[in-house]
């Protein structure tokens, strides 16, 4: 299929959904974007047709299929995932797993030609027995304590099964590393924005980032050109966590894991609904992904991991000088 003329984006309120929409509208006047989400974004371009559909609604798959039929949608980009886990575990599961299922049902009914789904390299799981570079063929082990990661692992397995049942649709899954940049915000960015950053004493894994521009570029390329398969979207290079924090000039609070987990237990449950291990294990063990397939498919990223991190750090420094 050549470049799709009508592209539906679920989760238009998310960072990637909105950024993709803006890029697509800039790219050509003939592309039509259909937005599906819970709330109409505030300043929406007049060329975008927005349909209010709540993906947690039991009849959502019918409504979404109806939208796809009516607008004659050719490609669907599914970015309707929570940017950060909330304390309401059932609602997160409804949106991320069941919502994905509804979108898949709608795609099947409308016989959509291309489906692009955003995912995360956190789904590989941070384990001491990970190889130094996780390829796309590595099984997704996730983290048993982090509910949003487990939801998305389940969603990915649904998508994998669905793509086997629907071989006519080109399915692309993009697993992004931790996104850093001047504008991107989620709970991970909020952690790194703390003035005093708690860290696990004695552990210093290698970290990897991707710049938000490279992420959106990969998403746009996957939407407009055929790239079926799974790709890791990450920046080149790795650097240790302590270097990351030192470059940002953070004050580091090193605590032994049992003490840190006890201290962070209630705040973590309140904010993310998970025990602290669900996040801190990603600062403890290695979970670096091999991005070669992604770089071959979508081109060299403009920013290396270190440059992406510095872009975030310098943007925060500029905020202080008003």
Partner 1 sequence: MSETNAPNTNPIDDVAVRQALDGLRREIRLRFPSTPDVSPAPPERAVLPPASSERIDWMELFDTVRRRVSALGMSERSGEVDEFGMDEVVLRQARPLLDLLHDRYWRIELHDSGRVPSGASLLVANRSGLLPYDGLMLSHALARANRERDRPRFLVADWLNTLPFVQPYLARLGGVRACRENAERLLSSGRAVIAFPEGQKGAAKVFRERYRLQRFGRGGVVRVALESGVPLVPVGIVGPEEAHPILFKWGTPARMVGLPFLPVTPTFPLLGPLGSLPLPTKWVIRVGDPIDLEDLAPDAATDELLISRLTEELRARVQQLVDAALADRSSVWD
Interacting residue ranges for partner 1, rule: CB under 8 A: 128-129, 131-133, 135, 200-206, 237-240, 242-243, 246-247, 251, 256-257, 285-286
If the CB atoms of residues 131 and 299 are measured against partner 1, the closer one turns out to be 131
Nearer to partner 1, 44 or 201 (CB): 201
Rounded to a whole number of angstroms, the minimum distance from the CB of residue 317 to partner 1 is: 15
| Least separation in angstroms between CB 125 and partner 1 | 14
46: alpha, beta or left? (left if phi > 0; alpha if psi -120 to 50) = alpha
User: Residue 232 Cβ, how far from partner 1 at the closest point, in Å?
Assistant: 14
Tally Cβ neighbours within 10 Å of residue 128.
9
Nearer to partner 1, 8 or 286 (CB): 286
Between 58 and 258, name the residue whose CB sits nearer to partner 1. 258
Give the separation between CA 27 and CA 225, rounded to whole angstroms: 14
Q: How far apart are the first and last CA of the chain?
A: 50
For the bound state, the minimum distance from the C-beta of residue 164 to partner 1, rounded and expressed in Å, comes to: 26
The pair of three-digit structure tokens given for residue 90, joined into one six-digit string: 């059932």
- Sequence-separated (6 or more) residues with CB below 8 Å from residue 312: 180, 181, 182, 184, 189, 192, 209
| Closest approach of partner 1 to the CB of residue 241, in Å | 9
74 within 8 A of 7, measured Cβ to Cβ? yes
């Amino acid at each position: 299929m050549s470049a799709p003329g009508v592209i539906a984006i679920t989760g238009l309120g998310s960072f990637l959904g909105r950024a993709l929409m803006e890029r697509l509208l800039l790219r050509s006047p003939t592309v039509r974007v259909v937005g599906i989400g819970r709330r109409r974004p505030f300043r929406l371009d007049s060329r975008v047709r927005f349909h209010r559909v709540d993906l947690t609604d039991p009849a959502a798959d019918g409504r979404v299929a109806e939208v796809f039929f009516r607008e004659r949608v050719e490609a669907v980009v599914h970015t309707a995932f929570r940017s950060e886990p909330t304390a309401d575990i059932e609602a997160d599961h409804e949106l991320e797993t069941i919502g994905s299922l509804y979108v898949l049902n709608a795609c099947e009914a409308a016989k959509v030609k291309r489906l692009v789904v955003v995912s995360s390299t956190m789904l590989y799981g941070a384990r001491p027995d990970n190889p130094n570079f996780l390829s796309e063929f590595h099984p997704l082990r996730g983290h048993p304590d982090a509910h949003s990661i487990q939801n998305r692992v389940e969603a990915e397995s649904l998508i994998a099964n669905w793509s086997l049942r629907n071989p006519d649709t080109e399915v692309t899954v993009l697993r992004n590393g931790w996104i850093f940049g001047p504008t991107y915000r989620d709970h991970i960015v909020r952690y790194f924005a703390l003035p005093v950053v708690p860290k696990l004493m004695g552990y210093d894994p290698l970290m990897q980032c991707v710049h938000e521009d490279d992420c959106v570029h990969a998403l746009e390329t996957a939407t407009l050109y055929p790239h079926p398969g799974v790709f890791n979207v990450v920046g080149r290079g790795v650097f240790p966590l302590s270097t990351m924090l030192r470059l940002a000039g953070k004050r580091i609070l090193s605590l032994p894991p049992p003490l840190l987990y006890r201290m962070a237990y209630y705040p973590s449950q309140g904010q993310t609904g998970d025990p602290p291990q669900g996040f801190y294990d990603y600062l403890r063990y290695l979970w670096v992904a091999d991005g070669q397939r992604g770089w071959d498919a979508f081109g060299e990223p403009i920013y290396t991991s270190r440059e992406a991190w510095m872009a975030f750090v310098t943007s925060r420094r500029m905020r202080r000088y008003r």
